[in-house]
């Protein structure tokens, strides 16, 4: 009698443990896109990828699992190294939409490796490597940030625009309020560096952000440099 009860109980506990280990370990994603002009016109400067100067468009920085309180997990699985052969079919789209601008010039693999290992491994319960990079590409395609801003008269021409006009343009076009992050150019002007959009845990849809990132913008009017 004892053993017939004990075995199902063990199975139940094991099943529960498997379930819990696969349960979501984060609350939402940030899809973070960077303006290349603002990465490059800083004191640190930049290096174009080996494949040439990227298009004058926002590029993906990363798809980052996050918690609702603003904190985030990182480097979640040392046993899941980046494996470029799993994303062979995505390479050309990645070079266009997720270019690296760090120095020295690279082909993107180091950037993508860093993003997978730091962030992607924290959403492995929902997306494998191919799914992770594919999801970011698909999400970027759904919202053309540059087009949205240009339609609102906000152009990458070195002009200054109010933070609220940038945020409003994106909210009115997409239904979602973005996070805006600034950095500073060589003349210490605060400029539009990254735009954060929030995404549900299956990386299939945009959502309202549970929490917005620190903007680091030191004025209400910020530069949108050319690239």
Which chain residues interact with ligand 5GP by CB under 6 A? 30, 34, 39, 61-62, 64, 66, 72, 100-102, 111, 114, 118, 213
Catalytic-residue membership of 61: yes
Shortest Å, Cβ 39 to ligand 5GP = 6
CB 61 within 8 A of CB 32: yes
- The nearer residue to ligand 5GP, 3 or 225, going by C-beta atoms, is 225
CA contacts within 13 A on the Cβ side of 149: 23
d(CA 116, CA 84): 11
Count of Cβ atoms closer than 10 Å to residue 73 Cβ: 16
Residue 226 CA from chain centroid, whole number: 22
Catalytic-residue membership of 114: no
Shortest Å, Cβ 66 to ligand 5GP = 5
Active-site annotation holder among 117, 119, 124, 181:
119
Shortest Å, Cβ 223 to ligand 5GP = 18
- The nearer residue to ligand 5GP, 65 or 159, going by C-beta atoms, is 65
d(CA 105, CA 129): 24
Catalytic-residue membership of 181: no
Shortest Å, Cβ 146 to ligand 5GP = 16
Active-site annotation holder among 86, 113, 114, 115:
115
- The nearer residue to ligand 5GP, 120 or 154, going by C-beta atoms, is 120
Helix, strand, coil in percent for the chain, rounding step 5: 40, 20, 45
CA contacts within 13 A on the Cβ side of 133: 28
- The nearer residue to ligand 5GP, 62 or 149, going by C-beta atoms, is 62
d(CA 206, CA 194): 17
Shortest Å, Cβ 183 to ligand 5GP = 9
* Burial of residue 19, with CB atoms counted within 10 A of its CB: 0-12 exposed, 13-18 middle, 19 or more buried: exposed
- The nearer residue to ligand 5GP, 49 or 223, going by C-beta atoms, is 49
Q: Which residues are tagged catalytic? A: 61, 115, 119
């Amino acid at each position: 009698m004892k053993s017939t009860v004990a075995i199902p109980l063990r199975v139940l506990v094991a099943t529960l443990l498997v379930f819990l280990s696969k349960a979501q370990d984060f609350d939402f994603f940030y899809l973070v896109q960077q303006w290349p002009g603002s990465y490059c016109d800083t004191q640190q400067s930049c290096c174009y990828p080996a494949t040439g100067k990227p298009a004058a468009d926002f590029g993906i920085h990363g798809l980052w699992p996050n918690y609702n309180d603003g904190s985030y997990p990182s480097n979640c699985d040392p046993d899941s190294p980046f494996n470029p052969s799993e994303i062979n079919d995505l390479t050309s789209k990645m070079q266009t939409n997720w270019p690296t601008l760090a120095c020295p010039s690279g082909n993107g693999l180091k950037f993508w490796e860093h993003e997978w290992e730091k962030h992607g491994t924290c959403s492995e319960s929902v997306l494998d490597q191919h799914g992770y990079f594919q999801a970011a590409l698909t999400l970027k395609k759904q919202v053309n940030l540059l087009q949205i801003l240009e339609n609102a008269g906000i152009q990458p021409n070195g002009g200054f625009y109010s933070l609220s006009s940038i945020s409003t343009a994106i909210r009115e076009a997409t239904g979602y309020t973005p996070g805006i992050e600034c950095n500073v150019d060589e003349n210490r002007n605060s400029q539009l560096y990254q735009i954060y959009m929030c995404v549900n845990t299956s990386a299939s849809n945009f959502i309202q952000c549970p929490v917005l990132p620190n903007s680091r913008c030191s004025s209400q009017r910020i530069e949108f440099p050319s690239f």
